[in-house]
Amino acid sequence: MLGLVLAAGSIGCQMFGPAQEQRKLTILLAEYRGESPLAEAQRVGKELSDKGLPDIFIVEGDRVASLCVGHYDSWKDKDADEMLKAVRRIRDSAGQYPFFGVMLVPIPESTPQNPWPLENAKGAFTFHAASWEAPGRMQRAQAYASELRSQGYEAYVYHGPRLSMVTIGAFGPEIFDNPSLIGRPGAKPKITSPKILDLIQKFPRMRLEGEVVPPEAHVPTQIVMIPGHETPATAGVPLPKVLYRVSLALVDTKTGQAEGRNRAAGVAQSSAKDEMSRLVAALVKQLTDAIPAGRPVRLGIAGVAAADAGAASARTDVTALEAVVAAVNRLPQDKVIVFEPAATRQYLDAAGVAPAAVLADPRPLKGVQAFDYVITGSVTSFAR
């Protein structure tokens, strides 16, 4: 048993039951995988429910069980805020806070049966061609894999905790010019396999959320290791195990919305400052190109949120925000009048708008007269 302890003043108990699909948001407490994920989720869920936590439910899928609490219609739901405070105060028998980093998220998908699991591919490496993160990601990834298979490609699907990826083929170390270099610090063996080179030519850029990213976003397709297939010869391959997806929005204060060309996203291969700066500069250019020509517009910078613990621990939100400020300040003065984050927060506070809240829901920016547009953003980490 975890020995979970709920803080005083926790919310009253309700039934421990199935997901209520008519409401869109929930608090994701944990995802369990392995031999018996459902049993583990049920055990922890029952312990929480017995100790007074209400509305616990489980979304079961293929080899995964997501333990959730609460059903909410809005990111600004006051009951959700109270529940977040309650679960973040829960301690285990060791005095730790296992749910400190939980967040309000769309209700998880029920993982579909995966006909082409990457984990079952025979090889050490695969060609990463596409990724999905938004709700509906699993079905969309499998539909794309099916499309590739109908075209004769050996496509596979991997469903991670936050990311679904589609890859092509399964290969051994022989795809490199000098396999003996694999795993050596600083070594970068060159890909010489005709099959891989042909795939790179046909699929040069990553597909994210179903769309091929523009060249300026610098997100190429690439060779990655197949999860769980590491061998002594491949265990030290210098390929990143964590990626960071940066999403930026240019919110029109007339509408409080950021749609279509007013949204941009890309993936950085690491949390390094130069990597983030290149990506963010491309995203800012993409967004500001959508600003109508004419008079200079007043552009505020509300901030960049870390959407998960991984992004927060790597401080990618701080790095990305610094890159946004630098990129915006490089724009021509006849195009924008820039309000840096501190000034933006002052104006938002004066207008009665919480700066942190608009990073999740920009609608309160509607009618804020100090700005024409406000940039908001988030960074999400995900493992390959």
Q: Tell me: the pLDDT tens digits for 212-266?
A: 877 766 678 888 888 766 554 444 444 445 678 888 889 999 998 887 778 888 7
Query: Which residue shows structure tokens 């401080």?
Result: 315
Q: Identify whether the C-beta of residue 324 lies closer than 8 Å to the C-beta of residue 281.
A: no
Nearest to 323 by CA among 215, 240, 248: 248
Cα–Cα distance for residue pair 234/230, rounded to 1 Å: 6
User: What value does the mean pLDDT of the chain take?
Assistant: 81
Partner residues linked to 272 by β-bridges: none
**pLDDT at residue 93 above 90?**
no
Cα–Cα distance for residue pair 212/384, rounded to 1 Å: 19
CB atoms within 10 A of CB 336: 18
Domains of the chain: 25-106 (3.30.70.1070), 118-225 (no CATH), 242-383 (no CATH)
Q: Identify whether the C-beta of residue 62 lies closer than 8 Å to the C-beta of residue 158.
A: no
Query: For residue 15, what are the CA distances in angstroms to 45, 110, 213, 246?
Result: 11, 21, 45, 38
CB atoms within 10 A of CB 103: 14
Q: Could you give phi then psi for residue 65, rounded to 5 degrees?
A: -135, 125
Residue % of the chain over a pLDDT of 70: 85
| Tokens of residue 370, six digits | 């100090």
Angle (deg, nearest 10), helices 273-288 and 316-329: 50
Instruction: Tell me which of 186-200, 217-231, 316-330, 349-363 is least confident.
Output: 217-231
Cα–Cα distance for residue pair 10/52, rounded to 1 Å: 7
Query: For residue 234, what are the CA distances in angstroms to 127, 170, 312?
Result: 15, 14, 29
Q: Tell me: the pLDDT tens digits for 122-134?
A: 888 899 999 887 7
Q: Identify whether the C-beta of residue 129 lies closer than 8 Å to the C-beta of residue 208.
A: no
Nearest to 132 by CA among 158, 169, 104, 168: 158
pLDDT at 301: 94
Instruction: Tell me which of 6-10, 81-85, 311-315 is least confident.
Output: 6-10
